[in-house]
Structure 1
């Protein structure tokens, strides 16, 4: 019985190590450039063991994307519970800039070739819509966001912006800070109240 427990613990630990190694490699080199052999070699395990845990490369990528999504969501949820909405937006901006600076643009190109992963991204995005609307409503109640704005349209606008960035590969043409400042912070400032803008002006981005 103890041997089975030890084996299960080892497999769980190995599963996490595989995810960490794969996530790092995909972000650094792009997805297509990273082979399953590379991941197995980097962990000093057999390719067979890797395939026993993750059936194929897309399954591994799917797990990486979901893990990343869950970690971001947990972090930002905890952050939002202890900060005002302006600070939350600023933190989201800082983290997104850091992410785009860290991730090879090839990753964003390659990921579009994996239909299961793209469906997961769409599902995750859709699941966040209600949370985003509640966040905007909170900002209005706290006096940081203007009450006369149609926030359903604001949500739709950010969706369109995100789709346009991906479709036109704007992340290849502009530095991440310039892209995010103009497409995220400029619209955001537009629906801030004077109170919100005053707080924002005091935050270092």
Structure 2
């Protein structure tokens, strides 16, 4: 096996996510992952380093995918109001079961990962703030809204529901309703 092979890394990430769904963040170890991935533990460590690095990679890949989805969504040549109406649905597309299942444990057990995730989320913050500012300047959103505050409310709702939801479907049903309400309130 070649170290740095993207296909092998993908297999490892998928196996890790599968273990996370079944056992949670703490319920498995690298021996389990090596067995699940079909490789020796030594090879596994050469490819991914350690469990903390692997968990970060899983979260990081999810955030990168989400960033690309949101960038692509915002660049569409559609009416602003149509984009705003579909935004909650688009946000949910980028949140996979892994993020819902592991967010609470990552925050408490792996503060270094939480810190790195916060850094990556700064890109999201800029995208959303720019989107709200665009709507405000085009006259679709209320003049008195503060884009930073709207973004902070959105992030707070997301975090709260990630920590309180037992699974992705519970998260989705609650957050969609809340985000739709938020986006309706900021409209003119």
The TM-score range, normalised by the shorter chain, is: 0.7 to 0.9
Counting only pairs closer than 5 Å after superposition, residues 78-97 of structure 1 correspond to structure 2 as 78-82=72-76, 83-97=78-92
2:187 maps to 192
SS at match of 2:26: coil
Q: Which segments of 5 or more consecutive residues in structure 1 lack a partner in the other structure?
A: 1-5, 194-205
1:39 paired with 2:29, answer no
1:116 paired with 2:149, answer no
1:136 paired with 2:132, answer yes
Q: Is the 8 A contact 2:142 2:187 kept in 1?
A: yes
Of 47, 56, 64, which residue of structure 2 is paired with 1:62?
56
Q: Is the 8 A contact 1:149 1:191 kept in 2?
A: yes
* In structure 1, C-alpha distance between the alignment counterparts of 2:75 and 2:133, rounded to whole Å: 15
What is the TM-score when the length of structure 2 is the normalising length?
A: 0.79
Any idea what the Cα deviations from partners look like across 1:173-202, whole Å, max 9, x if unmatched? 993244213432212110113xxxxxxxxx
What is the TM-score when the length of structure 1 is the normalising length?
A: 0.73
2:24 maps to 30
* In structure 1, C-alpha distance between the alignment counterparts of 2:3 and 2:172, rounded to whole Å: 44
How far 1:28 moved relative to its partner? 5.0
* In structure 1, C-alpha distance between the alignment counterparts of 2:10 and 2:95, rounded to whole Å: 23
SS at match of 1:175: helix
Any idea what the Cα deviations from partners look like across 1:116-150, whole Å, max 9, x if unmatched? 21011211223322222111012223443222322
1:146 paired with 2:135, answer no
Q: Which segments of 5 or more consecutive residues in structure 2 lack a partner in the other structure?
A: none
